[in-house]
Amino acid sequence: MVDWDLISFVNASKPRFQILISLNGKVSTPRDLADEMNFPISRISSVLAELSRKKLVECLTPNRRKEKMYGITDFGKKILNEIHEITEEKH
């Protein structure tokens, strides 16, 4: 069953979508994501918090203050795959 609310949530924000794509297959720090996407680190941090609350990404090093590592969850991969399938159906 497709979770349209979450798909809409991810698609409504370019940084949300880009972070999920970037974390699909690797882990990264907020600083590395900010550099990769050319967004301020404050924006990346807030988007990671949003995605974490929705269980789409997770902090792999929650006890660290700096250089925290983030990865996509299995649920995040599922939502990303659903977005890709919907996008492919349109073309």
Give tens-digit pLDDT for 32-85.
Answer: 999 999 999 999 999 999 999 999 999 999 999 889 999 999 999 999 999 998
Domains and CATH numbers, the chain: 4-90 (1.10.10.10)
Average pLDDT value for residue range 81-91: 81
Model confidence at 88, in pLDDT bands (50, 70, 90)? confident
Quote the pTM value.
Answer: 0.90
Whole-Å CA distances, 7 to 10, 78, 83: 5, 10, 7
Confidence at residue 63, expressed as pLDDT on a 0 to 100 scale:
94
